[in-house]
Homo-oligomer: A and B are copies of this chain.
Amino acid sequence: MNKKKKNVKELTEEFTEDEKKGFYKAIYSRRDVRSHFTSKTIKDDILSRILNAAHHAPSVGFSQPWNFILIKDINTKIKVKKSFEEEKIHSSELVEEPKRSKYLSFKLEGILESPINLCVTYDPSRFGPFVIGRSSIPEAGLYSVCCAIQNLWLAARTEGIGVGWVSILSNDKLKNILELPDHVIPIAYLCLGYVDEFALKPDLEIAGWLSRLDLKDVIFFEKWNIKESVDWSKIQDLIKTDFDTLK
> Chain A: residues with CB nearer than 8 A to chain B?
4, 7-8, 10-12, 14-16, 18-30, 32, 44-45, 47-49, 51-53, 55-58, 60-64, 66-73, 76, 87, 90-91, 94-95, 99, 103, 106, 108, 121, 127, 129-130, 132-137, 139-140, 142-143, 146-147, 149-151, 153-155, 158-160, 165, 167-171, 178-181, 184, 187-188, 197-198, 200, 202, 204-205, 209-210, 212-213, 215, 218-225, 231-232, 234-235, 238-239, 243, 245-247
| Inter-chain contacts of A103 with B (CB < 8 A) | 132
CB distance from A181 to the nearest CB of B (A): 7
Tell me the number of copies of this protein: 2
Q: Is the CB of B135 within 8 A of A219?
A: no
CB distance from A94 to the nearest CB of B (A): 5
CB distance from A26 to the nearest CB of B (A): 5
